[in-house]
Amino acid sequence: MGEAAKGKIGGLAGVIAGKSAICTVGTGHGLNYRGYDIYDLAKYAEFEEVAYLLLKGALPTKAELADFKAELIKARALPKEMREALKLLPKDAHPMDVMRTGCSVLGCLEQENLSVAKMSFPDQLKIGIRLLGIFPSILLFWHHWHKSGTELNTESKQDSIGGYFLEKLHNKEPKELWVKAMHVSLILYAEHEFNASTFTARVVSATLSDVYSAITAAIGALRGPLHGGANEAAMELLEEFKSVEEATKGIYEKLANKAKIMGFGHRVYVKADPRNVVIKEWSKKLGDDVGDIKLLYPISEAIEKIMWDEKKLFPNLDFYSASAYHFMGIPTSYFTPIFIMSRTSGWLAHVYEQRADNKLIRPSSEYTGPENRAYVKIENR
């Protein structure tokens, strides 16, 4: 029996699937985007600086950042056909499905100019900026259409993706603290090496398909609760409890019943998720700002302690992101779409890198089925 059949390399864990100059993840390397430490980026940068870094390979100057932001602001506009398509989507659609469909629709309306024979992709950066700019508009147009029957006005004084999202979600100017929190969150989610959705984007790109197809496929991978959907599941867990005592009792019961507790552990990190310490601090700040009447932060800390004491499992980025988003009045079903608004920058960086030195990604499998079966004609079965 081979190693795969024994389950020792299930899910390709530990398998090197390619080379990349975009991100380092894991023991001995920390978390870095193109050589920059995640803690420095989260502390000092705006998300748009990090998106520029991922897409173009270097941090922008003030002038370059201003130009980049201007392009992103222009990219927020929704084509008439997109607006009509979003109106047709049902009210009970999952917001991740809305984002996936919106990306695909845009790919029909603003098709990429591909020159596969020459390996030339002149539109890829323009499309990347367009997607980063339009994704919040896609979600919030659908949101407001079904909530109040009004069409989203994409005009805004907010020059950041996070600020624009918060303003249009709540129909008022966002708190400066909230805008900063969004910058931090989007930076922390922006890139994470060959995770499931990023690898999906690279597999699609390796076939020399268009950018929209790669990003649409990545959204599909991110939708699952074992990837991006974990932050929604974490929020649903927190809302089960009304006190620290109730949470303590409830988590012990879940562990006794071998229930899976979402938001803990990681396929790459062994002792801790380096992003957690940052988002945990912001969850505390945001809870203090709005008045944590549901005790979400202390409940979260209690669950964190139990999971470490009993299972030696640490919280990942998704766990405290859940309460942080909740404190800013963001609906739980929009947590993973926010992930898209961030991770698109990392996906695009990998699409561009894959195209720059492309080889079709086609792994092999170890066959575990029956051997040498004789064919029996249908009348004799």
| Predicted local confidence at residue 27, as pLDDT | 58
Pairing, β 23-24 against β 32-33: antiparallel
Q: How confident is the model at residue 5 (pLDDT cuts 50, 70, 90)?
A: very low
**% residues pLDDT > 70 (the chain):** 96
The string of pLDDT tens digits covering residues 142-156 is 999 999 999 999 999
In the set 192, 273, 318, 326, the catalytic residue is 318
The string of pLDDT tens digits covering residues 294-347 is 999 999 999 999 999 999 999 999 999 999 999 999 999 999 999 999 999 999
Domain 23-225+332-356's class?
Answer: mainly alpha
Q: How confident is the model at residue 29 (pLDDT cuts 50, 70, 90)?
A: low
Mean pLDDT of the chain: 93
Torsion-angle region of residue 78: left (phi > 0), alpha (psi -120 to 50) or beta?
beta
339: helix, strand or coil: helix
Burial code of 110-126, b = ≥16 C-beta within 10 A, e = fewer?
A: eebebeeeeeebebbee
Look at residues 336, 338, 348, 55 and name the one whose alpha carbon lies nearest to residue 204: 348
The string of pLDDT tens digits covering residues 261-273 is 988 987 777 788 8
28: which residues sit within 8 A by CB, 6+ positions away?
none
In the set 143, 183, 192, 266, the catalytic residue is 266
| Predicted local confidence at residue 321, as pLDDT | 96
The string of pLDDT tens digits covering residues 284-300 is 999 999 999 999 999 99
Lowest average pLDDT, out of 2-6, 11-15, 45-49, goes to: 2-6
Average pLDDT over residues 216-233: 91
| Predicted local confidence at residue 9, as pLDDT | 53
* Domain ranges for the chain: 23-225+332-356, 230-328
316: which residues sit within 8 A by CB, 6+ positions away?
230, 263, 264, 265, 266, 269, 273, 275, 276
| Predicted local confidence at residue 11, as pLDDT | 72
- C-beta of residue 214 within 8 angstroms of C-beta of residue 351: yes
Angle CA(301)–CA(279)–CA(45) in degrees, nearest 5? 165
DSSP per-residue string spanning 261-279: -TTB--SS-SS--TTHHHH
Task: Return the structure tokens found at 241.
Answer: 């409890």
Q: 230-328: which CATH architecture? A: Orthogonal Bundle (1.10)
Sheet arrangement for strand 23-24: 23-24, 32-33, 36-37
Look at residues 173, 168, 232, 176 and name the one whose alpha carbon lies nearest to residue 46: 176
Residue 12 pLDDT exceeds 80: no
Q: How confident is the model at residue 50 (pLDDT cuts 50, 70, 90)?
A: very high
Q: Which one has a higher pLDDT value, 225 or 247?
A: 247
| Predicted local confidence at residue 116, as pLDDT | 73
Query: d(Cα 46, Cα 35) in Å, to the nearest integer?
Result: 17
Query: d(Cα 237, Cα 250) in Å, to the nearest integer?
Result: 10
- Catalytic residue flag (residue 266): yes
Query: d(Cα 380, Cα 357) in Å, to the nearest integer?
Result: 53
The string of pLDDT tens digits covering residues 68-127 is 999 999 999 999 999 999 999 999 999 999 999 999 999 999 999 988 777 889 999 999
Residue 178 pLDDT exceeds 50: yes
Q: With residue 130 as reference, give the H or E element that holds it.
A: helix 124-148
Residue 63 pLDDT exceeds 90: yes
Q: How confident is the model at residue 28 (pLDDT cuts 50, 70, 90)?
A: low
- Catalytic residue flag (residue 289): no
- C-beta of residue 167 within 8 angstroms of C-beta of residue 156: yes
381: helix, strand or coil: coil
Q: How confident is the model at residue 1 (pLDDT cuts 50, 70, 90)?
A: very low
Say which amino acid occupies 247.
Answer: A
